[in-house]
């Protein structure tokens, strides 16, 4: 369904997209929720520098990680800080960039610095993530009363994150977002929702605006850590800290090999898999998955019957039962 995604890494870098052992585990990863297949939002506390002066104008960036994989959650990241520090703190001091350009170790170090109370990033910057589980993405796309497609889910996640930060009292003035689909259309939708904000939606925004780069790092590190938690239920001693399914992208040979070798004959896979993706559906069909269900067509008469119809029917049955118990009146000719 959404198998081919525009942000999927190029083939020459796909081998580096898998999580590695020993990376920083951010507070945005809730092990219990990740394993249960639950979607959830994490918000950092408002930075101390902003609490001291809530009138400070801020810039905010939003980006995602894991839009295309068949395995693991899609994570939306948000990052904000005072406007005067936008380039000096993020680009010049800490060298934030598109998360796909940075190595896993560099991303991990940046996230660790952000979460350390004694650092300048922690003092001036706030962040948030929305972890959208593979289970919930699949359920939304396959629901019977109309598919809730991935673009709509992404839009709602973006709006929800921005609104939560505004509700914290942060004085956001400028917003930069990496686009999904045509930038102009996406931007108009957000401007209608947030008319007081200066919204800019652009392709490759994670390479153009430092706050979006920082948001992409928050999203990517959170997704990588969530993948590690999900894989813990499958880990074997010989894996030695390496996640055998790699990046989780369909074009990653490690991912497809793992899917083929770990498919349950009855249930397929667990909460880590997006069953609505073509890769998963094709494997299930080719293996002859035994759990195909053909739902019966609803009975129109029963469906259209009012509640009073069931009550009246029950009363009639009650009267017949009483008549049988006490007997029926008969004519004199019987005697």
Report the candidate in 42, 254, 2, 3 with the shortest Cα–Cα distance to residue 128. Answer: 42
The strand pair at 172-178 and 58-65 is best described as: parallel
Annotated ligand binding at 252? The verdict is no
Annotated ligand binding at 320? The verdict is no
Kindly give the confidence (pLDDT) of every residue in the chain, 335 residues in length, as a single tens digit, with 9 standing for 90 and above.
444 443 454 444 444 455 555 678 999 999 999 999 999 999 999 999 999 999 999 999 999 999 999 999 999 999 999 999 999 999 999 999 988 899 999 999 999 999 999 999 999 999 999 999 999 999 999 888 878 999 999 999 999 999 999 999 999 999 999 998 899 999 999 999 999 999 999 999 999 999 999 999 999 999 999 999 999 989 887 777 788 898 899 999 999 999 999 988 778 899 999 998 988 888 888 765 556 666 566 665 555 656 555 555 545 545 555 555 555 665 666 55
Annotated ligand binding at 178? The verdict is yes
Contact 7, 150 (CB under 8 A): no
Report the candidate in 249, 240, 279 with the shortest Cα–Cα distance to residue 17. Answer: 249
Residue 86, C-beta contacts closer than 8 angstroms, at least 6 positions apart: 59, 210, 211
């Amino acid at each position: 369904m959404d198998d081919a995604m525009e942000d999927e890494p190029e083939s020459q870098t796909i081998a580096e997209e898998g999580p590695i052992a020993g990376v920083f585990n951010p507070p945005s990863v809730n092990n219990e929720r990740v394993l249960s297949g639950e979607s959830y939002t994490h918000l950092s506390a408002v930075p101390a520098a902003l609490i001291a002066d809530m009138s400070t104008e801020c810039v905010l960036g939003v980006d995602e990680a894991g839009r295309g994989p068949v395995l693991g959650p899609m994570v939306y990241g948000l990052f904000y800080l005072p406007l005067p520090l936008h380039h000096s703190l993020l680009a010049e001091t800490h060298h934030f960039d598109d998360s796909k350009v940075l190595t896993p170790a560099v991303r991990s170090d940046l996230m660790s610095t952000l979460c350390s109370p004694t650092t300048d990033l922690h003092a001036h910057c706030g962040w948030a993530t929305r972890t959208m589980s593979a289970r919930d993405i699949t359920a939304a796309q396959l629901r019977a009363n109309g598919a809730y497609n991935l673009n709509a889910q992404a839009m709602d996640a973006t709006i929800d994150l921005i609104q939560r930060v505004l509700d914290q009292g942060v004085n956001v003035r400028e917003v930069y977002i990496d686009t999904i689909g045509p930038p102009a259309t996406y931007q108009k939708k957000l401007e209608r929702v947030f008319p007081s904000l200066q919204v800019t939606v652009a392709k490759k925004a994670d390479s153009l605006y430092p706050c979006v780069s920082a948001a992409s790092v928050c999203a990517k590190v959170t997704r990588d850590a969530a993948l590690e938690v999900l894989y813990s239920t499958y880990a074997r001693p010989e894996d030695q800290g390496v996640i055998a399914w790699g990046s989780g992208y369909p074009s990653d040979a490690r991912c497809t090999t793992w899917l083929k070798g770990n498919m349950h004959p009855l249930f397929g896979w667990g909460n880590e898999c997006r069953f609505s993706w073509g890769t998963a559906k094709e494997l299930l069909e080719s293996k002859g998955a035994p759990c195909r269900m053909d739902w019966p067509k609803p009975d129109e008469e029963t469906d259209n019957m009012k509640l009073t119809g069931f009550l009246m029917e029950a009363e009639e049955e009650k009267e017949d039962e009483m008549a049988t118990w006490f007997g029926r009146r008969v004519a004199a000719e019987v005697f």
